[in-house]
Homo-oligomer: A and B are copies of this chain.
Amino acid sequence: MAKVRIGLFGFGKTGKMIASEFLNDNQFSLAWVVRNSREDRGKYASRLLGYEFDEGKIFSTDEINDSFFNEYPVEALVDFSDAKGVYLYGRAAQQGIRVISAISKYEQAELDLLKSYAKYTSVLYSPNITLGINVLMVAAQILQKIIPHADIEIVEEHYKGKAEVSGTAQKIANALGLDVEEHLNSVRVGGIVGHHEIIFGLPNQIIRLSHESISRAAFGQGAIFAVNHLLGQPPGMYTMETIITEMFRKNIPVY
Query: Which residues of A approach B to under 8 Å, CB–CB?
Result: 130-132, 135-136, 138-139, 141-143, 145-147, 150-153, 155, 157, 160, 175, 185-193, 199-218, 221, 241-242, 244-245, 247-249, 251-253, 255
Q: Nearest Cβ in chain B — how far from A252, in angstroms?
A: 5
Chain B residues with CB below 8 A from A136, complex form: 207
Closest to A133 in B: B205
Whether A188 and B135, one on each chain, are in contact in the complex, defined by CB atoms closer than 8 angstroms, is no
A211 touching B207 in the complex, CB below 8 Å, given contacts A146-B244, A146-B247, A201-B160: yes
Whether A135 and B192, one on each chain, are in contact in the complex, defined by CB atoms closer than 8 angstroms, is no
Q: Nearest Cβ in chain B — how far from A26, in angstroms?
A: 15
> Which of B151, B155, B191, B253 is within 8 Å of A190, CB to CB?
B151
Interface of A is mostly: mixed
A221 touching B203 in the complex, CB below 8 Å, given contacts A142-B252, A153-B187: yes
Chain B residues with CB below 8 A from A142, complex form: 139, 248, 251-253
Whether B218 and A205, one on each chain, are in contact in the complex, defined by CB atoms closer than 8 angstroms, is yes
Chain B residues with CB below 8 A from A201, complex form: 160, 189-192
What 19 new A-B contacts, CB under 8 Å, besides A141-B253, A204-B215?
A: A130-B205, A131-B146, A131-B147, A132-B200, A132-B205, A139-B139, A142-B252, A151-B188, A153-B187, A190-B203, A190-B206, A191-B204, A191-B214, A204-B216, A205-B214, A207-B211, A245-B253, A248-B248, A249-B252
> Which of B135, B200, B207 is within 8 Å of A207, CB to CB?
B135
- Measured CA separation A131–B206 after assembly (Å): 10
A202 touching B245 in the complex, CB below 8 Å, given contacts A141-B253, A251-B146: no
> Which of B145, B213, B251, B252 is within 8 Å of A204, CB to CB?
B213
- Measured CA separation A157–B252 after assembly (Å): 28
- Measured CA separation A206–B241 after assembly (Å): 18
Chain B residues with CB below 8 A from A138, complex form: 253
Chain B residues with CB below 8 A from A157, complex form: 199
**CB-defined A-B contacts under 8 Å, sample of 15:** A131-B205, A132-B202, A139-B209, A145-B251, A146-B244, A146-B251, A151-B160, A153-B188, A157-B199, A190-B200, A203-B221, A204-B214, A206-B211, A241-B253, A249-B249
